[in-house]
Amino acid sequence: MQQSTDSRRRRKVFFFVTIPALIGCILLFFGKHIAFPRILGEIFRLRQNEDGSLSMVTQHWADYPADIMYNFYLWNLTNPYEMIYEGAIPRFQEHGPYAYLGAERKENLTWSSDGKEVHYRNRRNWHFDSAASCATCTEKDLFVVANVAYAAVAYIVAHNDIHPLISTVLDLSILTTGSAPVQTVEAGGLLFNSFQDPLISLQYSSFVKRLEKFMGGTIFGIKLPEYPNPGLLPLYNNTYEPEYRVQTGQKSMDDYTKIITYGGRRYQDWFMGDAAEIQNCNDGGFNKQFLQPNDKLNVFRSYLGRSFEMEFHEESAHDSVPTYVYRINRDEFNTNAEKMIGMRYENIEGVDYAPTWPVCPSDHVYSPNDTRCAQVECTREVNFCDNCCNGSHYGPTVFTPHGFYPLRVFPGRLGRVPFAVFMSPPHMLWAPKEV
């Protein structure tokens, strides 16, 4: 008797609890892993409605409902004469912030007929925000800065096999235009408004333009850099970036907003190898669904001329919504790191820009003739202090330390920067302390 009630109870439990629970689990599984992602995917993927209007999410993606504050800190050269005439180390005084409120909007959205791709132009504008800037900061403040056109000429001379006659012509153009290694420029000019530079004005004069055309696009065999307007973001206000073509998420939400081409290119072809990869990047706006802590986020930032890989840092919360915080991996600023080598500065001039780095152990003796040395790759940072290797010196070149990467294209443009510019986090945060 006792036994039979027991088994009946068990059967009831089986029918009324276990089976519904199982069905519930199956439904939950279906809901969580199949239906829910589909529904979310349908809501989030980029699309336009039948009438050509944008879905709400797509609208937010195209016209981001928040402005971005840009804080610029400018550096005033305080010892120009000692630097030029006595070769002193330049000294700078930091001044700022010069705050600008920036907005961007994706315009001219064009959808592929299957809805899997969309291309667009990104338009940006900025406004000077004096309330958010330092108390005395105005766009008219004067700064003594290095003359980039002058630097470009020096760079061309260093990076080309130049006939002495041409180097004289270049020297003369510097002399006759009164161009100097340093110049005094307004803050607004340095940032957005551009400024007059005698050397660049000469290059863009009708005489030099005609001469260049006559010589087939060069001046005595040297291609002059395309750099009509000096400045950081010169006359960029209300202009467009190169065209982006991105995945809408229709094909797979894992590829949501990923870049297919930028300016018609499938690679950041101003870098080499892995560092040139753009296919796995988005523009930093939206990410795929169901992010996991082991996911890496790849973000392409046209204004920094490259992509960055971001890693999970910690769990956090925003307005009590649980969030994940991702951060740029330090190695992204280390052009000696294995996967970043394609971003290395060639340093054809062979200048040791950081002579105090790396610090090798005191027993390091450079002895490249050891038989073992054929096996040791001195291009790899782990081997810099191997006795087979000479620190950062490698043949005619010298590798630059971590904490910097070379800017190769102008911010948000495809034109190559005709001189060496290095980017670093604020105050060279991730550079070695010896630097």
C-alpha torsion 136→138→140→144, nearest 10: 60
Q: Is 127 in the site for ligand NAG (CB under 6 A)?
A: yes
Reading the block at residue 204, the tokens are: 């863009």
Residues in region 153-212 near ligand NAG by CB under 6 A: 192
Q: How many CB atoms lie within 10 A of CB 300?
A: 21
Reading the block at residue 357, the tokens are: 């780095």
Shortest CB 38 distance to ligand NAG, Å: 34
Contact indicator for 393, 385 with CB cutoff of 8 Å: no
Shortest CB 121 distance to ligand NAG, Å: 4
Contact indicator for 310, 333 with CB cutoff of 8 Å: no
Contact indicator for 126, 70 with CB cutoff of 8 Å: yes
Q: Is 109 in the site for ligand NAG (CB under 6 A)?
A: no
Q: Is 367 in the site for ligand NAG (CB under 6 A)?
A: yes
Q: Is 371 in the site for ligand NAG (CB under 6 A)?
A: no
Query: Residue count at the site for ligand NAG (CB under 6 A)?
Result: 22
What are the CA-CA distances from residue 201 to residues 18, 93, 171, 324, 411 (Å)?
Answer: 83, 29, 16, 50, 22
| Cα 49 from Cα 111, distance rounded (Å) | 11
Of 192 and 405, which has the nearer Cβ to ligand NAG?
Answer: 192
With contacts defined by CB under 6 A, name the span among 166-174, 282-290, 361-369, 400-408 that binds ligand NAG. Answer: 361-369
Shortest CB 126 distance to ligand NAG, Å: 4
Identify the DSSP state of 334: B
Of 45 and 106, which has the nearer Cβ to ligand NAG?
Answer: 106
Beta strands 259-262 and 306-318: pairing type? Answer: unpaired
Q: Is 104 in the site for ligand NAG (CB under 6 A)?
A: no
Of 143 and 405, which has the nearer Cβ to ligand NAG?
Answer: 143
Contact indicator for 363, 337 with CB cutoff of 8 Å: no
End-to-end CA distance of the chain: 87
Of 64 and 324, which has the nearer Cβ to ligand NAG?
Answer: 64
Contact indicator for 425, 333 with CB cutoff of 8 Å: yes
Contact indicator for 261, 270 with CB cutoff of 8 Å: no
Of 194 and 335, which has the nearer Cβ to ligand NAG?
Answer: 194
Of 93 and 323, which has the nearer Cβ to ligand NAG?
Answer: 93
Contact indicator for 202, 153 with CB cutoff of 8 Å: no
With contacts defined by CB under 6 A, name the span among 53-61, 266-274, 362-370, 371-379 that binds ligand NAG. Answer: 362-370
Give the DSSP H or E segment for 325. Answer: strand 321-328
What character string, x for contact with ligand NAG (CB under 6 A) and - otherwise, covers 63-102? -------------x------------------x-------
Instruction: Select the residue interacting with ligand NAG from 2, 4, 238, 292 (CB under 6 A).
Output: 238
Instruction: Select the residue interacting with ligand NAG from 19, 21, 40, 142 (CB under 6 A).
Output: 142
Q: Is 316 in the site for ligand NAG (CB under 6 A)?
A: no
Give the residues lining the site for ligand NAG (CB under 6 A): 76, 95, 108, 121, 125-128, 141-144, 192, 237-238, 240, 367-369, 390-391, 393
